[in-house]
Amino acid sequence: MLQLHDLHVGYGNLEVLKGVSLDVQAGEIVTLIGSNGAGKTTTLTAISGLLRPRRGQIIFDGRDITRVAPHEIVRRGLVHCPEGRQIFTRLTVAENLRLAAGHRRDRQAVARDMERVFNLFPILNERQQLLAGMLSGGEQQMLALGRAIMSAPRLLLLDEPSLGLAPLVVERIFQVIAELRRQGVTILLVEQNAWYALQFADRAYVLETGAITLSAPTPMLRNDPRVRAAYLGA
Ligand code: ATP
Closest CA to 40 of 16, 6, 23, 61: 16
Ligand 1 centroid–CA 131 distance in Å is 30
pLDDT at 83: 80
pLDDT in tens, 195-215: 889 989 999 999 999 999 999
pLDDT band at 49 (very low <50, low <70, confident <90, very high): very high
Q: Is residue 67 helix, strand or coil? A: coil
pLDDT in tens, 13-42: 899 999 999 999 999 999 999 988 899 999
- Whole-angstrom distance, CA of residue 1 vs CA of residue 228: 30
Q: What percent of the chain lies above the pLDDT cut of 90? A: 71
Average pLDDT of the chain to the nearest whole number: 92
- How many CA atoms lie within 13 Å of 24's alpha carbon, on the beta-carbon side? 29
Ligand 1, atom 27, lies closest to the CA of 11
Residue 84 has pLDDT above 80, yes or no: no
Contacts 24+ apart (CB under 8 A), 181-184: 181/27, 181/29, 184/27, 184/154
C-alpha 60, offset from chain centre: 15
The CATH H-level (homologous superfamily) assignment of domain 2-77+153-231 is P-loop containing nucleotide triphosphate hydrolases (3.40.50.300)
Strands (E), the chain: 2-11, 14-24, 29-33, 55-60, 63-64, 78-81, 155-159, 186-190, 203-208, 211-217
Ligand 1, atom 31, lies closest to the CA of 11
- Whole-angstrom distance, CA of residue 10 vs CA of residue 15: 4
pLDDT band at 234 (very low <50, low <70, confident <90, very high): low
Task: Give the start-to-end residue ranges of the domains of the chain.
Answer: 2-77+153-231, 89-151
Tell me, using a 6 A CB cutoff, whether residue 168 lines ligand 1.
no
pLDDT at 85: 73
Residue 12 has pLDDT above 70, yes or no: yes
Residue 105 has pLDDT above 90, yes or no: no
Tell me, using a 6 A CB cutoff, whether residue 41 lines ligand 1.
yes
Ligand 1, atom 19, lies closest to the CA of 37
Count the neighbouring beta carbons within 10 Å of the beta carbon of residue 26. Answer: 12
Tell me, using a 6 A CB cutoff, whether residue 42 lines ligand 1.
yes
Residue 93 has pLDDT above 70, yes or no: yes
